[in-house]
Structure 1
Amino acid sequence: MSAVLYHGEPNGASLTVLAALAQSGLDIECRPIDLLSGERHALPGISDPIALDLCIEGEGPVLVIDGEAMTESVFLAQYLDEAAGGAGLQPADAYARWEMMMWCRQITERLSPAAALLGNLATSQHAIACIPDIDFANLTACIVSDDLRQRWQALKDDVVDSAQIADSETKVASAVERCEKQLADGREWLMGTFSIADLVTCSWLAGMQLLRPCAFAQAPLANAWLARTLAQPCVAAALARSTVSEPLRAWAPGPEINRWG
């Protein structure tokens, strides 16, 4: 079996999958790609480009197994956990696993678009705006998803919606508050035991702790949990793959915020 994981810097969706891979112990080749150069849309050996864009996460990681491309960080984390025979990232109890997946859905549908918008406006918009027009046209021509292409164009054109920014800030604050409430019974991890829910939530919130510290000001439990998660060996191993000094400030166009409300 040939297996390659194409990923960006360990932040957002790429951090989730890299950490899950480290936890699994599977021997899968990791190939870092420059998301802001459009490399995700021209991966070698992928004959069906649509396979790369069947992903609500935007510039999320791509796992290629025997030529078949798979996307979506939560599902990839599940795949890696199960391919390893159970690496401890999913509860054994059926109800607890459903609860974990419902939590992950809330994070990916509400927090991740908000975090991606705020992160891109803060750190990647300038780099995208500086791409020469002809190069930008060639880059975006390779993007199959109309929605994703429009998000790239909005960053290039400096199209900023103040209402979306305010809504995103509210969603980040709500996610922190939700974590604080979940941890209020004294549990160490969001689902009671360390799981994919911790990985995916940390992956989108850690960068927001840097960009929107006010959202964490009244959340001691969430702050302590975030520190614990970042210190987990699998997360530390994922962060060690970074090629930049501050991976949690490395963003690329992500989920389209309007579709989630």
Structure 2
Amino acid sequence: MTGILYHGQPNGPSFTVLAAAFEKGVDLERRPIDLVAGDRHSAALPHPIEVDQSIEGEGPVLVVGDVAMTDSVFLACYLDDIGTGPAIRPADPYARWQMMAWCRYVIERVAPAAAALGNAAAPPHTVPAGIASADLAARWTDAVEGEADATQLADSRTKIVQAVEKIEAQLADGRDWLMGDFSIADLESFAWLAGMRALVPQAFVASPRVDAWEARLRARPAVAQALGLATVPNPEAIWAPGPEINRWG
């Protein structure tokens, strides 16, 4: 057993890490927690500053020995290094930079938009106790009180449309996966966009390459295994507050 993974439903950042672990054949002790109920802030989990001040918001936590780690892309990189399955990061330095730049785009633009829209559609009931980050506590309060800003939500929908367009363009040369070979970029992009089909359907009206890409991804055994861990009918509709919406466009 390599470590303990505390995770939510297979949506958003929890999906990325679960699927990466299965892709790499990493044997983790999985401990499901209810992110929407605020379980991540309970005394049952370790709370180093890297966890409490994570910019990802309500993401999974991986504990290895006495070290607790978080943030889905970086956890997937860690799993890529320790796992035995085929690489999920390019070996070429420039190609690896491209993948990380893509993931940063998803983290900073797509993820905040998706989380904002998801929370507006299905607000959490209460703000959990024990949130160390003032920024995250404020996002929880806004979500619970239904204080979604109309301008921000409109901008979030635009960002989802742009993300789908970006993927459609990336696949235009006939490649199967975003970086050519399958990578973390595919997992992270799907993680945040899967739930947007119901909330921003106009983004997917003319996206045949994206549709085919998603079908290929869902057909991967590791992805199917991760999605199979869901304990609710529609895990892509389960959202807890995510990254803060950036302030500069």
Tell me if 1:143 matches 2:110: no
- The one-character-per-residue Cα deviations of 1:176-231 (angstroms, maximum 9, x if unpaired) are 00000000000010000100000000111111112211101011111111121122
State whether residues 22 and 225 of structure 2, in contact with CA within 8 Å, keep that contact through their aligned partners in structure 1. Answer: yes
**Equivalent residues, number:** 249
Q: Following the alignment from structure 1 to structure 2, what is the Cα–Cα distance between the partners of residues 189 and 101?
A: 15
Q: Classify the secondary structure of the residue corresponding to 1:114.
A: helix
Change in 2 beyond 3 A, CA 1:238/1:219:
same
Give the partner amino acid of 1:68. Answer: V
Query: Counterpart in 2 of 1:13?
Result: 13
Give the partner amino acid of 2:76. Answer: A
Query: Counterpart in 2 of 1:69?
Result: 68
Q: Classify the secondary structure of the residue corresponding to 1:184.
A: coil
Tell me if 1:253 matches 2:241: yes
Query: How big is the shift at 1:54?
Result: 2.9
Give the partner amino acid of 1:116. Answer: A
Give % identity. 55
Q: Following the alignment from structure 2 to structure 1, what is the Cα–Cα distance between the partners of residues 145 and 23?
A: 40
Q: Classify the secondary structure of the residue corresponding to 1:185.
A: coil
Query: How big is the shift at 1:250?
Result: 0.9
**Structure 2 unpaired stretches of 5+:** none
Q: TM-score, normalised by structure 1?
A: 0.91
Query: Counterpart in 2 of 1:225?
Result: 213
Cα RMSD for the two superposed structures: 1.5
- The one-character-per-residue Cα deviations of 1:110-137 (angstroms, maximum 9, x if unpaired) are 00000000011112x1x42xx4xxxx4x
Q: TM-score, normalised by structure 2?
A: 0.95
Tell me if 1:107 matches 2:76: no
Query: Counterpart in 1 of 2:37?
Result: 37
Partner residue of 2:144 out of 136, 142, 156: 156
**Structure 1 unpaired stretches of 5+:** none
State whether residues 109 and 260 of structure 1, in contact with CA within 8 Å, keep that contact through their aligned partners in structure 2. Answer: no
Query: Counterpart in 2 of 1:198?
Result: 186
Query: Counterpart in 1 of 2:91?
Result: 92
Q: Following the alignment from structure 1 to structure 2, what is the Cα–Cα distance between the partners of residues 108 and 254?
A: 10
Give the partner amino acid of 2:146. Answer: D
- Higher percent of residues as helix: 1
Q: Following the alignment from structure 2 to structure 1, what is the Cα–Cα distance between the partners of residues 35 and 91?
A: 35
State whether residues 62 and 68 of structure 2, in contact with CA within 8 Å, keep that contact through their aligned partners in structure 1. Answer: yes
